[in-house]
Chains A and B, each alone.
Chain A
Amino acid sequence: MSDASSGEVQTIVAARHLADAESVFIGVGRPSTAAILAREIINPDLVLVYESGTIGAKPRKIPLSIGDGELAATADFVVSVPEMFNYWIQPGRIDVAFLGAAQVDPRGALNSTVIGDYDAPRTRLPGAGGAPEIARGCRRVMVVAPHSKRTFVQQLDFLTTDAQPVAVITDLGVLEPGADGVLTLTAIHPGVEVDAVRDATGWDLRVADDLTTTDPPTDAELAALQELLAR
């Protein structure tokens, strides 16, 4: 196996989760990189949908923002933001929502609004950006977030999105909800110890009895990701 960084492993594992997806709704950052990678090497028919209204975008480079001209120029079609929410998201036309967040709680609920007290926040975050409607409207939600006690908290500072994800993909492993909706560690990335994941989680982490280890990135996957990032 190649010596991939934990962030590269996370992006590649996130991309693999889109292998059977019809369409994916994405913002910018690591989820966007993973979705672009998935379309390039895993699922060429994957429809990339950006909140700016570009549907079927085929970016060659990773966009700096969802308004980048390349997304509109390469899209199958472009709609307004109200059309995106009313006619595409709300009726369940989009398969997977790929969401990030500053905080994730034990049930996969998300905070992307404030850190600290709402009225006197330590950090004011970008906000929901449509995430509550996106999470409710898309058929499946997957969360991509860095694994640390700052992010994986027992109690959110603010409840932005009741996301109920089918998977939370971190740089240490993958969590999936149990029958009661509480996230359970179901896979760890190669070289990661379970105790390290426990230490990076702000609650008493459940670990699956049949915990698996993620397949390491192949040379081809890693080369494709690095080439994409370098464009």
Chain B
Amino acid sequence: MAIVHAQEADRRGNVQLWGIPGVQKEAVLAAKRSLVTVERIVDELEPRPGAVFLPSWVIDAVAEAPNGAYPSYAHGLTDRDNDFYKRWDTVSRDRDEFKAYMEEHVL
């Protein structure tokens, strides 16, 4: 199962992402099932030169999740919160702080 975040999908479930592509395309294509969360769903994707395109037929589900990359970012749409990353150093050292963090941000 691969879960990746992208900038946009159209109503048929095609996905387009850009910026640092990393291994997101490879993760989706290597997985048996995939979920792509996106910043926004648009009627028609406007093709961007150099963007990664994932057709709906390699994706099982698309979900709209604005700011879904937080504390990371979606290139061109949201900003990375570097201070949040730095706080992880202390959060990850202490069990209680870790549990409080999980309650607040994940669970």
Contact A82 B75 (CB under 8 A): no
Say yes or no for A29: interface residue by CB 8 A criterion. no
Within 22-42 of B, Cβ neighbours of A (below 8 Å) are at 22-23, 25-26
Q: Which residues in B have their C-beta under 8 angstroms from that of A81?
A: 21-23, 26
Contact B20 A72 (CB under 8 A): yes
Say yes or no for B97: interface residue by CB 8 A criterion. no
Contact A67 B86 (CB under 8 A): no
Say yes or no for B80: interface residue by CB 8 A criterion. yes
Say yes or no for A78: interface residue by CB 8 A criterion. yes
Q: Which residues in B have their C-beta under 8 angstroms from that of A78?
A: 19-21, 50
Q: Which residues in B have their C-beta under 8 angstroms from that of A64?
A: 82, 85-86
Within 8 Å by CB of B85, from A53, A65, A69, A71, lies: A65
Contact A67 B82 (CB under 8 A): no
The 8 A CB mask of A119-157 against B (1 = contact, 0 = none) is 000000000000000000000000000000000000000
Say yes or no for A33: interface residue by CB 8 A criterion. no
Tally A residues with Cβ within 8 Å of B. 15
The 8 A CB mask of A10-54 against B (1 = contact, 0 = none) is 000000000000000000000000000000000000000000111
- Distance between Cα atoms of A65 and B23 in the complex (Å): 16
Q: Distance (Å) between the CB of A144 and the closest chain B CB?
A: 22
Within 8 Å by CB of A82, from B26, B72, B85, lies: B26
Contact A69 B23 (CB under 8 A): no
Q: Distance (Å) between the CB of B19 and the closest chain A CB?
A: 5
- Distance between Cα atoms of A52 and B80 in the complex (Å): 15
- Known A-B contacts A64-B82, A64-B86; the reply to A69 vs B73 at CB < 8 A is yes
- Distance between Cα atoms of A86 and B26 in the complex (Å): 14
Q: Report, as a range, how many residues of chain B touch the other chain.
A: 10 to 19
Q: Distance (Å) between the CB of B30 and the closest chain A CB?
A: 11
Say yes or no for B79: interface residue by CB 8 A criterion. yes
- Distance between Cα atoms of A135 and B76 in the complex (Å): 33
- Smallest CB gap from A51: residue in B: B22
The 8 A CB mask of A65-90 against B (1 = contact, 0 = none) is 10111011000001111100000000
- Distance between Cα atoms of A64 and B72 in the complex (Å): 12
Q: Which residues in A have their C-beta under 8 angstroms from that of B25?
A: 80
Within 43-101 of B, Cβ neighbours of A (below 8 Å) are at 50, 52, 72-73, 75, 79-80, 82, 85-86
- Distance between Cα atoms of A71 and B73 in the complex (Å): 13
Contact B20 A54 (CB under 8 A): yes
30 contacts between A and B (CB under 8 A): A52-B20, A53-B20, A53-B22, A54-B20, A64-B85, A64-B86, A65-B85, A67-B20, A67-B72, A69-B73, A69-B75, A69-B79, A69-B80, A71-B20, A72-B20, A72-B75, A78-B19, A78-B20, A78-B50, A79-B21, A80-B21, A80-B22, A80-B23, A80-B25, A80-B52, A81-B22, A81-B23, A81-B26, A82-B23, A82-B26
| The 7 A-B residue pairs with the shortest CB-CB distance in the complex, in nearest-first order | A80-B21, A64-B82, A81-B23, A72-B20, A52-B20, A72-B19, A81-B22
